Amino acid sequence: MRIVISGASGLIGSALVPWLETAGHTVVRLVRNSPSGAPGEAVWDPATGSLDPAIIEGVDAVINLNGRSIGGSRWSSAVREALRSSRIDSTRTLAGAIRSSDNPPGVLVNASAVGYYGDRGEEILDESSPIGEGFLAELSGDWEEAAVTARSERTRVALLRLGVVVARGGALDKMLTPFKFGLGGPIGSGRQFWPWIGIEDVCGIMEFLLVHKEIDGPVNAVAPQELRCSEFARTLGRVLHRPAVMPLPAFAARLALGEMADSLLLASQRVRPHTLEEVGYQFRNPTLDDAIRKALA
């Protein structure tokens, strides 16, 4: 296939591009600056909606990974706006180019997040569950609304709702330091569910979605193993051969991170990968222990 990818230099994109190229696909990476001369780059400007329609014309798929890091800094008004614009502007630009194409791609895969569901406690959530409350839910909902405008008789839209991605360079790296010093442990009560997904499965699921034409709409990209925060911490401690008994109180997390703590660390989302299980996707890292060992290796 010939695949256009936005956000190719990010956490997921840096793993996905070589994954797809190794499988024999041709990848075109969208970049904001002038091409370096390397093959497979194309210039765009999502902030202004600038994207040459010829880049999209005749490709098999578009994968949208664009977006500023959610956990990069406290959510000030300016950061909130940057989080929104970096996702929604780019998605509107891609969707507009797809709609105006005479020969549009067969699929747009848009990476969103399980933050769509908000804080839901013990409730079991699948792709049919309604949107939740809070900034992340609103952001994810608006992001997905922008993506579905690309849908037509010739283009389906897969809305990939990602759990915590277990990979070097992401949330895992932020957890490693306290654990290595024996200071790791659960956050808050530790009873909140933390949906997660290994980076190998993120790449595998995206490639799976390109060829499974029956999949259209939301897809929960989370591992089948349900874990609470306390269980996540114990697993990480076991892999690192370190204790996981130093809890971080909820008030301390809020003091350090503000509202971000409630949305990213203290919220409970018991998310099931119902669609993937229904179509028979085989998880490469079905347990967190395996996903962490693969990431650290």
3-state helix/strand/coil string of 51-108: ECHHHHCCCCEEEECCCCCCCCCCCCHHHHHHHHHHHHHHHHHHHHHHHCCCCCCCEE
Element (H, E) at 44: strand 41-45
Q: Is pLDDT above 70 for 37?
A: no
- What's the rounded Cα separation, in Å, for the pair 34 and 94? 19
Of 26-30, 169-173, 206-210, 269-273, where does mean pLDDT reach its minimum?
169-173
The residue type at 271: V
Report the domain count for the chain. Answer: 1
Q: Which domain CATH number covers 102?
A: 3.40.50.720
Average pLDDT score over the chain: 94
Query: Which residues share a beta bridge with 218?
Result: 159
Percent of the chain clearing pLDDT 70 (strictly above): 98
Element (H, E) at 209: helix 199-211
Q: The tokens 């971000």 sit on which residue?
A: 260
Closest CA to 15 of 194, 223, 169, 161: 169
Extract the tokens encoding 147.
Answer: 């993506």
Q: What is the CA radius of gyration of the chain?
A: 19
Angle 293-72-263 from CA coordinates, rounded to 5°: 85
pLDDT at 153: 94
Q: The tokens 């085989």 sit on which residue?
A: 282
Mean pLDDT score, 28-54: 84
Mean pLDDT score, 258-267: 93
Per the model's pLDDT, the better-predicted residue between 274 and 169 turns out to be 274
- What confidence tens digit (pLDDT) does each residue in 54-101 have? 999 999 999 999 999 898 888 999 999 999 999 999 999 999 999 999
What is the band of 35 on the pLDDT scale with cuts at 50, 70, 90?
A: low
pLDDT at 220: 98
The residue type at 18: P
Mean pLDDT score, 125-136: 97
pLDDT at 286: 96
For residue 289, give Cα distances in angstroms to 123, 223, 238. 25, 12, 8
Give φ, ψ of 145 to 5 degrees.
Answer: -60, -40
pLDDT at 170: 87
- What confidence tens digit (pLDDT) does each residue in 88-127 have? 999 999 999 999 999 999 999 999 999 999 999 999 999 9
Across 76-233, the runs of DSSP E, i.e. the strands, are 107-113, 124-125, 156-162, 164-166, 196-198, 217-221
Q: What is the pTM of this model?
A: 0.95
Extract the tokens encoding 206.
Answer: 């995206």
Extract the tokens encoding 27.
Answer: 């990848």
Domain span at residue 262 reads: 2-296
Per-residue DSSP letter, 258:
T
What is the band of 297 on the pLDDT scale with cuts at 50, 70, 90?
A: confident
pLDDT at 127: 98
- What's the rounded Cα separation, in Å, for the pair 226 and 212? 25
